[in-house]
Amino acid sequence: MAHQPLRLHTGQKLGHYELLVPVAGGGVGQVWAARLRGARGFHKLVAIKTLPRGDASAEQELLSEARLAASILHSNVAQTLELAEHEGTLYLVMEWVDGEPLSAIIECAERAGGVPLLVAVNWIAQVLRGLQAAHELKDDSGARQCVVHREVAPQNILVSYSGTAKLVDFGIAKPADSVGRPSEPGYLSPEQISDGTVDSRSDLFAVGVLLYRLTTGCAPFTGQNAGEISAAILGEEPLIRPSQLKPNYSRTLEAVVMKALEKDPSRRWPSAEEMRLALQRGVPQAFELGFDVQLRTFMADTVGEREARKREALHRAEVVVDAGANDSGSSSSSTSVTSLRAIAVDTSAEPAETLAPRPTGRLASLRPLLARSIPPAPLRRPLLIAATAAVALAFGVLWLRSPPDSSQQAAAAPNAGMVDLSPPRDSSAHPLPAGAASSASGLGVPATAGGRRSYVKAH
């Protein structure tokens, strides 16, 4: 029996996972931030890529991505955790990278002068490490698979808020002898455009394009459309050297960039590792011990506001899902969708000052309990009044128990330990001084007049 297409929304369950907020399109599918819930309050954020039902080509690409990416175990490649199916919906579970796409970082950094050269070189070196792990991937028999990513571009590189770069979206990564056309023309190698032989050096050409752009602020190949950009990549016109754009550009770094951008693959770097080592020799400052502190500082200065908004959006999504956890109709209710319709992981349109800090430490583990403890709207005002009265009563008791002044000790001693429970006396019989009446009426606590206690009703 064929399943009806799932309408994915916040709170929707896919296997052991709860969808929180949609993140973005991910090549052949949509990506959601989701949560894995376990026993005794355990939970873990993951990214889930879902597929439109009935798209056989997309399913094949996702299966290919899952098989390849799950085999690449490296800190600079986002980990693939699981491929599963729920009521006919195929989905891929991936590591949640708590950070931003490099494309968003570049956009934010351009407003402040661009990405610093040392930061750019360090990130490119991290990308090269991840590519090296993919390029030398071996199968169970030990034979090299020669996997090529084919679309090393800013939107397929995630950078964590601590400064770690990770390659994602191996949806079109295939063995070198297969064909495939990426969607980002500015990062295509000449052999990809002309449908020639593609191997690991095609990825290094894309890395060269990215390094050129990060360190000069300009793209090496430009045009009004994809056709013009492709023509520039295939053309014979010499490339503008980085030092022509920036006179103080390092000659050693320029040599690394220009070799990566050679149009003849045989003249490029033979491997990602050799290109990375050349970068390390040419710009050693980007690899010094403790440089990770500079990466974190740059991320905080550049996208710190986006980080706060993302965390707040995820927190609100979790609160909504938790609040509806005991609602038998929550899985299909439209309440969650309506409540979170304006929430996306990128919430740049929302004022930063309106965001409350996300609970940390012990409070984070209490979040599900607190979410379920929010009283219904009709009861909130009475409960608030009752809580205020309780606080005022406690304050009054503490005030009564405080030691009397020495000038009043003799008169107050007989009744010092007693609380007057009689009805309030007429204030006209014992008028209070103006200051005392004002203070007492605001707090609802005993005031003194002429050595005798009277109570003033709180308004």
In this predicted model, what pLDDT tens digit does every residue of 443-456 receive, in sequence order? 343 444 444 444 34
pLDDT band at 378 (very low <50, low <70, confident <90, very high): low
Of 273, 297, 321, which closes a domain? Answer: 297
Closest by CA position to 97, among listed 149, 31, 1: 31
Domain range for 82 is: 13-297
Place of tokens 């503490």: 398
411 lies in some domain: yes
Q: What does the pLDDT average to over 215-233?
A: 95
* Of 329 and 280, more confident: 280
* Within a domain: 353: no
Query: 419-443, pLDDT tens digit by residue?
Result: 344 444 444 444 444 444 443 333 3
Decide if 367 contacts 359 (C-beta within 8 A). Answer: yes
Asked if residue 64 belongs to a domain, the reply is yes
User: Does 186 fall in a domain?
Assistant: yes
Q: Which residue has the higher pLDDT, 451 or 115?
A: 115
Q: For residue 357, is pLDDT > 90?
A: no
CA dihedral of 342, 346, 352, 354, whole degrees rounded to 10: 30
Q: Whole-angstrom Cα distance, residue 105 to residue 121? A: 15
pLDDT in the model for residue 88: 81
Residue in 215, 34, 190 with CA at minimum distance from that of residue 119: 215
Residue 310 is assigned to a structural domain of this protein:
no
CATH assignment of the domain containing 212: 1.10.510.10
* Distance separating alpha carbons of residues 327 and 348, to the nearest angstrom: 32
Looking at per-residue pLDDT, the higher value among 354 and 65 belongs to: 65
Of 39-48, 150-159, 362-371, 385-394, least confident by mean pLDDT is: 362-371
Per-residue pLDDT at 302 exceeds 70 = yes
Looking at residue 382, its pLDDT comes to 67
Sequence length of the chain is: 459
User: Helix or strand or coil: residue 453?
Assistant: strand
Determine, yes or no, domain membership for 213: yes
Residue 63 in domain: yes
Question: Could you tell me which residue, 120 or 4, shows the higher pLDDT?
Answer: 120
Cα–Cα distance for residue pair 240/350, rounded to 1 Å? 41
Residues in CB range of 243: below 8 A, 6 or more apart: 249, 251, 254
Weakest mean pLDDT among 200-209, 270-279, 320-329, 434-443? 434-443
Confidence category of residue 175, pLDDT binned at 50, 70, 90: low
Encode pLDDT of 250-277 as tens digits.
Answer: 999 999 999 999 999 999 999 999 999 9
Instruction: State the average pLDDT over residues 35-49.
Output: 90
Q: Look over the chain and give the mean of its residue pLDDT values, rounded to a whole number.
A: 77
CB-based burial, 390-420: b 16+ in 10 Å, e otherwise: eeeeeebeeeeeeeeeeeeeeeeeeeeeeee
CB neighbours of 146 closer than 8 A, spacing ≥ 6? 135, 175, 176, 177, 199, 200
Q: How many domains does the chain have?
A: 2
CA neighbours within 13 Å on the CB side: how many for 362?
Answer: 0
- Do residue 103 and residue 243 come from a single domain? yes
* 432, 454 contact by CB (below 8 A): yes
Residue 309, in any domain of the structure:
no
Q: Are residues 21 and 132 in the same domain?
A: yes
Tokens in use for 365? 């583990």
d(CA 17, CA 244): 52
Is pLDDT above 50 for 91?
A: yes
At residue 352, the pLDDT reads: 35
pTM score, whole prediction: 0.69
Q: What's residue 443's pLDDT?
A: 37
Q: Picking from 191-200, 238-247, 397-406, which range would have the lowest pLDDT averaged per residue? A: 397-406
Of 114 and 27, the one with more pLDDT: 114
